[in-house]
Structure formats: structure tokens, C-alpha cells
A = this chain, B = another copy of it.
Amino acid sequence: MDLVLTVTNAVGIIAFSVAGSLKAIEKRMDLLGVITLGFWTSLAGGIIADVLLGKFPPSNLTEVQYPAIAIVSSALTFAFFRKVSKLRRPLLYAEALGIGAFTASGASLAYSVDPNPVLVTLVGTITAVGGGVLRDVLANEVPLVLTMDFSATPAIIGSLTYYALAYLGLFREYLTAVVVLLTFALRVAAIRGNWRLPTVAN
């Protein structure tokens, strides 16, 4: 894994763990619930991707640094809840980096298993947003990404871009970095511009 992906992936795990922990605290979960929700919010997307691609056990459960980052981040959010809860705006940008990293790593893994555009797009997107969906399901809410959060669309565009560039053999060594940055930029634009997808006016 190249340097850009390593760094943004770690930032993403921290940000997603914090977001999951904040949701758990809002739902009055106990310490175990806070760590569990932080853990799955940051790592479930990659675990589901590994399962769909037939990689067992999933690397988010065996490479000790990922669970360690998730658990420590969640425990610190529990301990310093008041301070952390004031960081929601910077947290959104850190999460945006995570969406970029998770999209690139999921798309890259799927491409290496089967260079199929549908598979690459779905696995890249699930890696990026699957953890947030599980967070909301465990918090007994409709997943935010399905109702108003413009974060799956950057992951879809990032994954398709990964597929196209890999297929064309462009950017070889820098491919994951390009996709991380593109996805991140789209998500940041969506946050700043308050982008929304259309809904049916019913």
C-alpha cells in the first residue's frame, strides 16, 4: 500500500470511529456500545468487501493496527466526549479523506480479484459507505447515505474512475493516490456546496 493510501486510510479509520462513537453516545449506549459502533463504522465496509471477494479472514480483523486505531479512537471519544463533539466540522473533512481511501482500497482489491466494472464499482462503494450504513442500522435509524448524505456518489465516481484508469493502464503507480484525491475532492465539494441528490416530491 503506497504512502498516500496508508496515511489517508489511517485518518479515515480515526474519523469513522469517532463518528460512530458520537452516534453511539447520542443513542445513550454504554462504553462497549461506543467502542463497538466506532469499530464497525470504520472497519465494516472493508470487512464486507473482503467477504464479497472471498478473502478470509478479512484483513481488518487480522492486521492488528486497524482494530487498534479504531478501538483507541472510540475510547478517546468516550473519554473526551465534550471536546470531541465540538469537532464535527473538521471531522467531516477527515471522513471525506476516509471515503477517498476506502474507495481506492476497495476498488483496487476488487480489480485485482476480477477486473469487472460492476464489481469494482460496487465493492469500492461498499467499502466507503458500508460502515456508515451498519452504524445507522445498529443505531436503529434509516441510513443517512440513503436519504440525504452525498457521500456514496463520490465513491461511485471514484470507483468507476479507478476501473477506467486501471483498464487503460494510466497513472499506474499513482493510481490509488489519484482516486483517493478525486473522491476526496468530490466529497469536499459536496459538503461545501451542500449538494443534494433529487428526491421524488411526494
Contact = CB atoms under 8 A, between A and B. Distances in A.
Given A36-B146, A52-B51, A56-B53, A199 B28 contact: yes
Interface in A96-146: 110, 113-114, 116-119, 122-123, 133, 137-143, 145-146
B119 A62 contact: yes
A132 to B, nearest CB: 12
Interface in A14-73: 24-34, 36-37, 47, 51-54, 56-58, 61-62, 64, 67-68
B199 A31 contact: yes
A83 to B, nearest CB: 12
Contacts of A25: 199-200, 202
A197 B32 contact: yes
Given A25-B200, A140-B140, 7 more contacts: A25-B199, A30-B197, A52-B58, A53-B56, A57-B119, A61-B119, A62-B114
Using C-beta atoms within 8 Å of the partner chain, give the interface range for chain A. Answer: 35 or more
Within the oligomer, what is the number of copies of this chain? 3
A78 interface: yes
A64 B114 CA distance: 13
Contact of A30 (B29, B52, B78, B196): B196
Given A122-B61, A142-B138, A81 B202 contact: yes
Q: Which one of A30, A54, A137 has the highest number of Cβ atoms from chain B below 10 Å of its Cβ?
A: A30
B119 A31 contact: no
